[in-house]
């Protein structure tokens, strides 16, 4: 670990450890579960890959464990950023464990969406993603989210995600309003990022 803060080395080793042990073998179902057909599709689209609404995250190929964790965080109210409280809280309240699992499994096994065209700051974003910002004690995003940004387990896939959504989430981690049980790891990262660095890295990620 070549990062400056000892707390980070610790977080990172936990992260990398989890990163390496969580396996990803899932059966692929062709029929969306009832909960996706009756609810999720309205905003996320049936396959989780609709690019039209920038503040709604793409769920296609997102990690199953991460999706389940977030649905529980919406349900218990710990993920409390404004769009979460408005859109996802009412839906998550009514979800059973079985529906959470079924929806998560469905979206996790869908093909990733088409990436977005890279914005002008994407090359700065790439450097942050791969190397971090040493002077500001920002670790490389790739060390937890994976070199292709496809994540694993509790570490979300970021590749091909809407830039506007990613940028908003980085701000919510920084302000502490997104406060679910794994959010503190990201708060430590986001606290040291400037708005323009957040924008650059979000632009880069949406183009992967």
Q: Which positions touch ligand HEC (CB under 6 A)?
A: 11-12, 15, 35, 39-40, 42-44, 55-57, 59, 62, 67, 69-71, 81, 83-84, 87-88, 91, 103, 128, 138-139, 141, 143-145, 154-156, 158, 166, 169-170, 178, 180, 182-183, 185-186, 189, 193, 201
Q: Angle 71-77-82 (CA atoms, 0-180°, nearest 5)?
A: 95
**Cα separation, 40 vs 203, whole angstroms:** 26
Residue whose CB is less far from ligand HEC, 61 or 185? 185
Start-to-end C-alpha separation, the chain: 26
- Give the other-Cβ count within 10 Å of 51's Cβ: 15
Q: CB 26 → ligand HEC: shortest distance, Å?
A: 16
- Give the other-Cβ count within 10 Å of 89's Cβ: 16
Contact 9, 140 (CB under 8 A): no
Residue whose CB is less far from ligand HEC, 23 or 141? 141
Q: CB 178 → ligand HEC: shortest distance, Å?
A: 6
Residue whose CB is less far from ligand HEC, 61 or 166? 166
- Provide the phi-psi class of 60: left if phi over 0, else alpha when psi is between -120 and 50, else beta: beta
Q: CB 124 → ligand HEC: shortest distance, Å?
A: 12
Q: CB 71 → ligand HEC: shortest distance, Å?
A: 6
């Amino acid at each position: 670990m070549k990062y400056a803060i000892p707390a980070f080395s610790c977080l990172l080793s936990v992260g990398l450890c989890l990163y390496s042990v969580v396996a990803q073998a899932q059966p692929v179902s062709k029929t969306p579960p009832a909960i996706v057909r009756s609810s999720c599709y309205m905003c996320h689209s049936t396959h989780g890959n609709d690019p039209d609404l920038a503040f709604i995250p793409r769920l296609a190929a997102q990690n199953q464990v991460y999706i389940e964790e977030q649905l529980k965080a919406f349900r218990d109210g710990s993920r409390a950023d404004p769009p979460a409280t408005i859109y996802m809280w009412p839906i998550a309240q009514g979800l059973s464990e079985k529906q959470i699992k079924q929806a998560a499994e469905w979206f996790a096994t869908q093909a990733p969406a088409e990436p977005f065209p890279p914005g002008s700051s994407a090359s700065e974003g790439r450097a942050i993603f791969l190397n971090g910002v040493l002077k500001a004690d920002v670790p490389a995003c790739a060390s937890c989210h994976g070199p292709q940004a496809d994540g694993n387990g509790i570490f979300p896939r970021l590749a091909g995600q809407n830039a506007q959504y990613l940028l908003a989430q980085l701000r919510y981690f920084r302000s502490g309003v997104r406060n679910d049980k794994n959010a503190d790891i990201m708060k430590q990262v986001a606290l040291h990022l400037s708005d323009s660095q957040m924008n650059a890295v979000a632009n880069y990620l949406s183009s992967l």
